[in-house]
Amino acid sequence: MTTLLSLPPPSSSHCFSTAFSSCHQPSVVVTTGRPTRFLPVAATTTHHHQQIDKSSLTVAEAAEEDQLWAAACLRVRSLYDFQPSSYGIQDHKRYLAEREFVALKERIAGKREDFKRVSCINATLPLSQLSSSASDLCAACKFTSNGEERVVVGTLDLNQCLWLPEEIAGTKPEGIEAEYRRAYLSNVCVARELHRNGLGYDIVAKSKIVAEKWGITDLYVHVAVDNEPAKNLYLKSGFVHENDEPAWQARFLDRPRRILLWIGFPCTNEL
């Protein structure tokens, strides 16, 4: 894989405010639901998986722009594979990261129609924790917090909404409460060098805590039928099968067919 250069957050005047693409790779724990779709090149690189000390791991909601930019870069890095010989690969990576960066800020700020509330939840580690084999990850996804250099190593979005674009909708709860008490996970990914450390489980667990704090009673996630790592993650996290995407819809969208998984929480009065 071509090294992604360390890039500062771009000026919003040079970005495209479109939500991130919808794609799956069998080797990456990822599920997405977004209006614009891009298909990745098949992965051909074998990655060394570093074991980490999780005592310095932080999993929390992100608000600062430099951390959101790092999360956007991780999403491009995790959800796409590019042929090393591709022309203009760095420009294309930046284009995708800029687009996700602006869209992410707009969703969090409540500027996207049909999204009641959106939170970006990131797992981060100190830069010093990562080995030289993760130098590409460190260059692409680092940010500074309270004077410490850290790296976004896992990320997802928690979306309070009735449905996600181009995805089948959940059915729980019914009635007027659905608008406030239903949520979806999207853009779930973990740096491939750090797979097998339970980071996907950690960020999903944090999303469940935040969802319950919001008063969410029904949390959903879409996953490709052949994405076994992702399905195993969500089942381990307590999700169960609710519905299947119609085959015709998957063919129309030119993507693997999805299943819809659900987990319920006790009703609270917090909204």
Point out the residues that are catalytic. Answer: 234
Separation in Å, CA 55 to CA 156, 192, 199: 21, 20, 13
Write the single-letter amino acid at 105: K
* Inter-residue contact 242 to 261 (CB < 8 Å): yes
Q: Do β-strands 258-264 and 182-190 pair in parallel, antiparallel, or remain unpaired?
A: unpaired
